[in-house]
Every structure is written in C-alpha cells, then in structure tokens.
Amino acid sequence: MAKSELIVSSAAPASDGSVLRITPESAGWRYVGFEVFRLEAGQRLQQETGDEEVCLVLIGGKGNVSTEQERWESIGERMSVFEQIPPYAVYVPSGDRYEVEALTALELAVCRAPGKGTYAARLIAPSQIEVEIRGKGSAERRIHQILPEQEPADSLLVVEVLTPSGHWSSYPPHKHDEERLPEESYLEETYYHKVQPEHGFAIQRVYTDDRSLDETLAVSNGDAVLVPRGYHPVSAPPGYDLYYLNVMAGPVRTWKFKNDTDHEWIFESWK
C-alpha cells in the first residue's frame, strides 16, 4: 500500500542540516511552510525571510540567533521536548534575515507563513509562553502557546502539545477549514511529531464530514502530518508519550473551529 500523501517523514540531514521540508507548493495549499533542521555544535544556518514571516522554535538544544537588527546569545534550555518545559523561540518578520549558530546539537523548527513586515523581530522566552492543561481524563494534555493569536504576528499561529502515554489529543475532534467567521476560520495546519521512546508510534486520523477525505495514519518519530481540511484527532498508545508542534495560517489570523457534532457530547460528560 502506498504511503499517505499526508505524511512527510524526516530524512538524514542534508549539508545545511535540513531533515524535513514542507512548502505551500509541496503541500498543495497557500499559506503554511515548515522546515526542521538538525545542526551539529558549531554549525550555522543562514536564511532570508523574503515575503514570509518566520517563527524559529528551538525544539531541543542551545544556540545563538541573530537577525538584521537583533542578536540573542546562548538561548535554549531544554535538550528534549519531553522535559515538560516551554521552548525558546524567535519571531522574524518578512524582509529580514536570520542566522542560527548551534552551541550544542540543535533541533530547530522553522515555521513560515505570509508576512507583511508589520512587527519587529523578537525573542519569545519560556517565561512568556502560556502553559495550559486542556481536556479531561484520558484526553488531558499540556499546551505551550508559543505564538497564539493574542501575540503579534501577521499570519502565523504556533503551539506545541505534550500528550501523555495512553491519552488522546486534538480531541474531541475539531476542524477549521471553512471561511465562515465568526463561527469558523480557514487554517491550514501541520503537525510535527516526536515519540518517546523513539521506536514507538502514534495514530492520527484526518477526515471530513462527507468522508471524501478519511485517512488513519500511523505516525513515527520525526514525521509531519498535513491537515489540509477536516477533523484531525491524535492518539498516543500506552507506553509512548507524544509531542507535536502545530503551525497554522490562513487568510485571517484567528483560530475559530467547529467540533464534530457526533462527539460534542463528550464535553458535556466532562462537566
């Protein structure tokens, strides 16, 4: 059976450290781009933002980050996403450039979306990131709001989620694939998954009301899942903790979603 077109897997690092790359063109959509780099200590990455804004997320490791106007030395605190602490991140506007120098082995996510150059480059420190416990029972998970809609950006929304072993996440299922504000916003989305222990897997389903899209995916450590439309719940099997980094963007920078009506009763049971 052919591998799903909704999964993009990590590869061995290229010369610049790139292990995973999603562009609007490769995804077949308009807004979200996403890259992951694994840099060795002393390795540098330099890129221009062009007409996109960028959120650099230090997934694990430490580095120096500079833009045309700013420089931050020795940022990064966690070595693993499963340390349960928020990351360091850097917002870089369109029309700018950045350089990342790895001080340790560094896994770096580059989140991209259309920019207008409205806001200056800035550091997003762990102390600035809201931590939320969402859900109840076996759907409880930990949320790190890296770049929520309450914080300034032109298009990007960035969040990471830690789902404990045996728990469900992005659950009950919801979607955001229609432009019908104020009830629902159109947002493309990527999920970048990490699994602990690394040889494990997670399950993600992506489906629409009419089932014109209905895929259930076995996700490995380092895989990214594309969510072009539809509901997209995730499950972490017993014995394996799950992390994912979400990037969302669309024509309007707001997260308004519709729950799957078949499963809304679960919210009432939590009350």
- Residue 251 CA to residue 1 CA, distance in Å, equals 35
Burial 1-33 (b: 16+ CB within 10 A, else e): eeebebbbebeeeeeebbbbbbebeebebebbb
pLDDT for the residue 209? 97
pLDDT above 70 covers a percentage of the chain that reads: 99
Tokens, residue 114: 């259309």
Q: Where does 118-200 show beta strands of DSSP type E?
A: 122-124, 130-134, 141-147, 157-163, 168-169, 174-175, 177-180, 184-186, 188-196
Mean pLDDT of the chain: 97
Answer yes or no: are the C-beta atoms of 121 and 91 closer than 8 Å.
Answer: yes
Q: How many CB atoms lie within 10 A of CB 257?
A: 14
- Residue 258 CA to residue 253 CA, distance in Å, equals 16
Query: What average pLDDT does range 101-107 have in this prediction?
Result: 98
pLDDT (tens digit, 9 = 90+) per residue, 115-161?
999 999 999 999 999 999 999 999 999 999 999 999 999 999 999 99
pLDDT for the residue 72? 98
pLDDT band at 271 (very low <50, low <70, confident <90, very high): confident
Query: What average pLDDT does range 64-68 have in this prediction?
Result: 98
Whether pLDDT at 1 is above 50: no
The span from the first CA to the last CA of the chain, in angstroms, equals 43
- Report the DSSP beta bridge partners of residue 123: 90
pLDDT (tens digit, 9 = 90+) per residue, 150-199?
999 999 999 999 999 999 999 999 999 999 999 999 999 999 999 999 99
pLDDT band at 4 (very low <50, low <70, confident <90, very high): confident
Q: 172 in helix, strand or coil?
A: coil
Q: Please report, as a single letter, which amino acid is at residue 82.
A: F
Q: What angle do CA 173, 131, 85 make, to 5 degrees?
A: 110
Whether pLDDT at 6 is above 50: yes
